[in-house]
Amino acid sequence: MLLKKEKDASSQLLESLENISTLVPSTALPLHFSRDFINWKGIPVSANLSNQGYNYETEFPPQNTPSPITGHVSIGPGQFKKHLPHTIISMTSLTLGNILPIAENKNAQVNGPLISIIIPNSSIHEISLTFSKMKLNLSQPQCVFWDFSHLQWTDTGCHLENETANLVTCLCTHLTSFSVLMSSIVP
């Protein structure tokens, strides 16, 4: 019972942060807020977005790692469905992903920053996300997003595009909070 309450609380915290992001008026943009564990960036959208796309890069100081922890988001030109949004808010955290539970039957852990992309009243065809690996000894990356309805990480609409020694790149067909799960067990 306690695990269920904790699971709900951590999901509610993430959902509250996303909801707060949707309330930022375009008159308050551009916005940049950065602390040791969380970064927020908000931009008003101009007509150039349809030609240039959207790129967001964030960096955190090394966390028991040889280099900084980074996250990168790219939404290419023409990837927005229907119409251009008015605002885009990006939120990245090193700690929020760790408080969201992993299914008991999975031997995996969050191994990258949690990246949320909030674009009110808009949808996309595809988004590219690149995560620094926080632990280099883990394997089998799985591109996931936090499913608020089922209170779990899921990979629906996301797949692994590329993996290097330090980075994992995912492609997804929707917007929400993303990260990468990796295992300490090699099959």
Reported as a single tens digit per residue, the pLDDT across 31-85 is 998 888 889 999 988 777 777 889 999 998 887 777 899 999 999 988 887 777 8
Question: Do 29 and 44 touch, CB atoms closer than 8 A?
Answer: yes
Q: Look up residue 182 and give its two tokens.
A: 């990796």
Q: Look up residue 102 and give its two tokens.
A: 């992993």
What number of other Cβ atoms are within 10 A of residue 69's Cβ? 19
Q: How far apart are CA 170 and CA 159, in angstroms?
A: 6
pLDDT in tens, 5-40: 565 888 898 899 999 888 888 888 899 988 888 899
